[in-house]
Amino acid sequence: MFRPTIRERRARTPALQRATAAAAALCLCVACGFEPGPAPLEFSLSGATQSALEDAPAVRDQIARELTTLFGTPSQPAYAPHPAWDAAGVDLNQPDASAGAPYPGLAAAAETYRRECLHCHGVEGGGDGPSAFGLTPAPRDVRLGIFKYTALKDQSRPRRADILHTLEQGIAGTSMPNFQRLAPAVRESLADYVRYLAIRGEVESALVLTWREEEELSPEAVGEALTFVWSRWAKAPSKLVVYEGEVPAASKERIARGDALFHDPLKGNCASCHGTSGAGDGPAAWKIGVDGQREPAYSDAWGRPIRPRDLREGLFHGGSRPIDIYRRIYAGIPGGPMPALGETMKDGEPLLSSEEMWCLVHYVRSLSLREGP
Ligand code: HEC
Ligand code: HEC
């Protein structure tokens, strides 16, 4: 059947008629105060949930509904009342603002996130915003609740202070910028919004798991999933890696001892991954793939290949102060193979003493700190 193209239709519409229609449309806009703005955002289920529940559309819908009830939407983010919050004595919708200035609140934080973070970290915090394409390392997918650069042991969930530290400092050597240009209270609200996205994502996977185990999702099971997820966040403040006292000086002796520990397979064993010269090319870091080519031996928690850092570059993602590197050696880097040595025991004794870890810190720093002309 013949359909006129738009151009043909426009050509046939008398000019006066077109002008009247345009004027009418304009009046309508002015009358209702219409201002064109971005469409409201919605949360989607993660790719992992979608594929896990490929054959169970009704469960997918139920999980999406439960999540909206518990967490609201990106335009109206809010934690629903829940016994876990009462037990912890916290109001996550109005956390204390230590920055002094008025606390913006979760909805305002969501708007700031939309402007500043979404293009990298995605609507749900999945690290899949439009600007994330091709970035290495990829923006963090916070939905697993795994954060790499905290001051905490036991692969703990982060404290607000840890996320704030990332926002203040950015992550050196990656595309993650610092946000010092935003007011401290705004950064606090953003840290709370990141936690909100992480908890929401973790509850989503907990619900999928519960359904798989129990083949139904009762209201009690939904409540328990949230209580379980929150219990891990609630523990964070007790997990701080503390070092009392002065940082031991970077003497020649300590650097030499650090060098020995770094290469000793029975002590630091760092060279197995980081290589003899610290270039990230140790034998444990690589394997031979099916096609006979060398490829990274490890994958991270997000399923991407991961390589030990080239320590000669001096780009420390978690900070380059001695205490930052001490914490990395003590607590490892969650989500990847870098081990936590602070509490590793051997024959009933700590594998490394605190003094030995400081020697390693100074040795690692010496690999990139070039002294003299
Ligand atoms: C240009 C892209 C980009 C933008 C914009 C961006 N990030 Fe990131 N972000 C990253 C990358 C890349 C990483 C991962 C770096 C790594 O693995 O070392 C990251 C990591 C993080 C982490 C994880 C830190 C950890 O300990 O694991 C948090 C939290 C974070 N970003 C929050 C934010 C917030 C909040 C905003 C907005 C205020 C934001 N980011 C904006 C790219 C970005
Ligand atoms: C099993 C392999 C493995 C071993 C053993 C290992 N590392 Fe690592 N290390 C890694 C990986 C992988 C990374 C990069 C992690 C990332 O980017 O998420 C890393 C990163 C680091 C970083 C960078 C931290 C930052 O803030 O960016 C330092 C420093 C480091 N390792 C020191 C050490 C020291 C010292 C030892 C020995 C006590 C050691 N590593 C043992 C795998 C290992």
Same domain, 61 and 204: yes
CATH number, residue 276: 1.10.760.10
Domain boundary, last residue among 193, 209, 239: 239
Contact status, residue 64 vs residue 45, Cβ threshold 8 Å = yes
Range of 306's domain?
A: 252-366
Query: Can you say whether the dihedral through the CA atoms of 139, 145, 149, 150 is positive or negative?
Result: positive
Same-domain check for residues 133 and 70: yes
Ligand 2 center to residue 85 CA distance, Å?
36
Is residue 123 in a domain?
A: yes
291 lies in some domain: yes
Q: Kindly give the distance from the C-alpha atom of residue 213 to the centroid of ligand 2, in angstroms, as a whole number.
A: 36
**Of the candidates 214, 239, 264, which is a domain's last residue?**
239
Determine, yes or no, domain membership for 245: no
- In ligand 2, the atom with minimum distance to the C-alpha of 360 is 35
Burial label for 24, CB within 10 Å (0-12, 13-18, 19+), is: exposed
* 328 pocket-lining for ligand 2 (C-beta < 6 Å): yes
* 166 and 99 within one domain: yes
Q: Encode the chain (373 residues) as per-residue pLDDT tens digits.
A: 444 444 444 444 455 455 555 555 444 444 455 566 666 789 999 999 999 999 999 999 999 999 999 999 999 999 999 988 888 788 888 887 676 778 899 999 999 999 999 999 999 999 999 999 999 999 999 999 999 999 999 999 999 999 999 999 999 999 999 999 999 999 999 999 999 999 999 999 999 999 999 999 999 999 999 999 999 999 999 999 999 889 999 999 999 999 999 999 999 999 999 999 999 999 999 999 889 998 999 999 999 999 999 999 999 999 999 999 999 999 999 999 999 999 899 999 999 999 999 999 999 999 998 654 4
User: Are 208 and 80 found together in one domain?
Assistant: yes
Rounded Cα–Cα distance for residues 5 and 12 (Å): 11
Say if residue 213 is in the same domain as residue 265.
no
In a domain, 223, yes or no: yes
Which of residues 179, 208, 239 is at a domain's end?
239
- The whole-number pLDDT of residue 17 equals 55
Mutate which of 310, 330, 338, 354 for ligand 2? The one with the most ligand atoms within 8 Å of its CB, which is 338
Residue nearest to atom 38 of ligand 2 (CA): 268
Nearest of 41, 64, 10, 84 to residue 233 by alpha carbon: 84
> Is the CA virtual torsion 203, 167, 313, 242 positive or negative?
negative
**How confident is the model at residue 96, as a pLDDT?**
73
Pair (297, 230) in one structural domain: no
336 CB under 6 A from ligand 2?
yes
Residues 274 and 169 in one domain: no
Determine if the peptide bond prior to 137 is cis (ω within 30°): yes
CA–CA separation, 22 vs 108, rounded Å?
36
101 and 229 share one domain: yes
Residue 19 belongs to some domain of the structure: no
**29 in a structural domain:** no
Is residue 38 in a domain?
Answer: no
The total domain count for the chain is 2
- Domain-located, residue 314: yes
